[in-house]
Amino acid sequence: MPDAALTIRSLAARAVIAPLARPLRTASGEIPAAPLLLIDIATAQGVTGRAYLFGYTKATLRALKALLEDIAPLLAGKPCAPYDRTVEFERVFRLLGRQGLLGMALSGIDMALWDALGRALNQPVAALLGGAPRPVEAYDSFGLIDIKEDARRLERSLAQGFRAIKIKLGGGTLAADARVARDVRGIIGAEVRLMVDYNQSLSAPEAIRRLEALTPCDLAWVEEPVPAEDLAGHAAVRTARLAPVQTGENWWFAADMAKAIAAGACDHAMPDIMKIGGVTGWLRAAALAEAASLPVSSHIFVEASAHVLPVTPTALYLEYLDCAGAVLKSPLAVKDGKVTAQGPGLGMDWDEGAVTKYAA
């Protein structure tokens, strides 16, 4: 079936609270389970495209669902053409802006449209983008560490072949951060890369102070040490040259990324496919990263990220943090520390029994 034949018929959205293998503890609070909104875009030709949104908190799900349902009439009868729909939404929402819940909704629609195209052609999205599914190097993503509870989990990550581990810091004092980082480094050894994520919890001077204490731990990067919108603060931390600075999961569309690059705010880029504009927005971001020589890693959304990273010229890591596996028929597996995209489309089919069980 040629992609030009696909016409959008309807959109449906369902909220679930999916259990996580490891509750995610951050400096900003704990996420015990994943609040997800499952999107199904049906076409007149009988193909359904799927995607999901991660709401961070259950409080967002009802609003996201209503927003998507209100946008649905703008899609009905239109071609399943992600780029064209992106341009149309840019025009429709120009006065409002596309940040926040609206940006998430539009990104989710884009992903579902790409999924529908892949399913119609029986091809993975990576192939539609000119590449092919391939094993992508991943790092295992942890929250705040309790070394007594997490030592075995860290050892299990190494047994799965992960050669990079990320932990979250900032839940306590500098001394506590240093102790945890030293303990984790002791478990994973000198050859495994160690990243730390402060989840926007510090000021620039405090970030520099803490990174000085963490220098012996040989950090591969420090992620969002200061508030995401504080580009000058990120640049100041970067100038201290204590660890490469990673940011980007809170960029809204490629325009935010361009601002961060212009401000010299980062050594690494981490677009979130739900905030950067879906697959279409990711391609724009990847082009900016290539021009700026920025290594690109993904932020959650392992299924879609596994398709776009193979066509990202400066791709580095896929963040392995499985948010949706509990409601999928075939969750993505880790093999030798790598993840390979599934198809057709984005390769996601809902486990309807689990969707019913975890309905919000």
Q: For residues 287 and 321, what is the distance between their CA atoms, to the nearest angstrom?
A: 25
Per-residue burial over 172-200, b = 16 or more CB atoms within 10 Å of its CB, e = otherwise:
eebeebbebbebbbebbeeebbbbbbbbb
Name the catalytic one among 234, 268, 275, 299: 299
H or E element: which one contains 87? helix 82-92
Residue with tokens 């951060």: 177
Q: For residues 210 and 214, what is the distance between their CA atoms, to the nearest angstrom?
A: 6
% helix, strand, coil for the chain, step of 5: 40, 25, 35
Q: How many helices (H) and strands (E) does the chain have?
A: 12, 11
φ and ψ of 43, to 5 deg? -110, 160
246 touches 224 (CB < 8 A):
yes
234 in catalytic set: no
Residue 27 C-beta-side C-alpha neighbours within 13 Å = 22
Q: In the chain, what's the furthest Cα-to-Cα distance?
A: 61
φ and ψ of 230, to 5 deg? -85, 80
168 in catalytic set: yes
Q: How far is CA 306 from CA 97, 136, 181, in A?
A: 29, 7, 28
Residue with tokens 């070394």: 147
360 touches 35 (CB < 8 A):
yes
Name the catalytic one among 168, 275, 307, 338: 168
Q: Which residues pair with 14 in a beta bridge?
A: 38
List, by residue number, the catalytic residues.
168, 299
